[in-house]
Structure 1
């Protein structure tokens, strides 16, 4: 997994893991990053809502799992790198980084069941040749972003404009890494942030996909979730959702934007039934269902 995860938190142990865990725990608890994440995920969720609304209006089929993967990749890259990939645009465009990311993810996972992967790597053939090319695309993209972000931070300091520093994870880790005690070179920054992108992308997309599937199987539960959302909105004296079903697409999108503005870490805590359905989905369909255990016996 080293070619993909490097020395990130998923692929390290001991003191390296402990230092990353401690740093990440502190960063994710910060209000600045939490507020930034809320804005990012809410904005991309609105894009998704508009795509689904258009599909419902035109009765065109859509692939929800693909949309959720685009949603989470766009969102986590914005939070992690401060970069907008744009794969959730209405045209659903391809992106070289997104394609390479998926390709590497699949191939390194298949290594666990392919006894000849080292030979393929040595000969640079098959999946290993494709992996090498895709890994190069990922690294070029990430290091380019790191160099750009370092320059932006230096320019902000030169003009004594610290308020312009971006709140994404990469920017925060770059600042932390300038402390000699933290020892974060560009390879370390690449590994740390990429691991968190992996953590936030597929897990969330898979859970959302299963959630929609379960709502389709249990329309009575879906209705109760919708009723809770309406009551939540009406408690704030807006009530734009109550007429959204019969409204045209433009009116629905406007209602959706108003509703999204109500959602943050504090208000979401009041949606207990929605929380229950999501956690029940996770119980039935864990976000990481496959755990590979390797036992090594020595005499």
Structure 2
């Protein structure tokens, strides 16, 4: 099935939301992990590699060796001490509990092994939809152009509707087509925010460099680079030195922050940053984070 917005949808949007943008029903708390309501789906559905910070190499569809019969992780409280960064970094954006409690009505893959393969596939699809909802919800709060804000509100409602489809309909969903529409709205919002941040930047250009368009900044020292309003989407910032850097208005969607030094950095107004990214980085109590994110307990004082 190919998902299309369609001319009728566009017309309905413009007629129903011409004067004001309604706040979307989906909120960030609904897009947070609630393992108590899940069936350990991330511990089964995903492929694991020990070299990437997981307990042991395993194939997709096979339970992790640490997953217990009650779907709890036997080493959850000591993931950091055991160096299991892959586990601490993963975030399903609340897709696990949606699949477990809504799509499958509380029936787990052990109770119904015949549906296990399908459930794991649905989980991967749902995670992508919930990730889109996370970014769209943030975009809605950032966007000031009323027309685009209306479109974002509509897209949130439509994406939320898709998450409630039956398992068979979800499998047939054209995620690429839907993601392209979502990405367009997110990109427009990013450009708006970054442009504003650059205009408000009072830092003399002669004292700081601007970031290049290359993707690889692994291990780079970026302390003297002006990153206000920077486009850091998808960039490799692994082990980069961002200590004390002001990242206001910087777009970090998809940026790889593994072991990046964020001590003293200001990310308060950075955009499209996720908890999973923060969990892989290094920071301290002087690191300023967006209100939607939680400071990792592993960060030093």
Provide TM-score, normalisation by structure 1. 0.27
Higher relative contact order (CA 8 A, sep 6+): 1
Higher helix share: 1
Whose radius of gyration is greater, 1 or 2? 1
Provide TM-score, normalisation by structure 2. 0.27
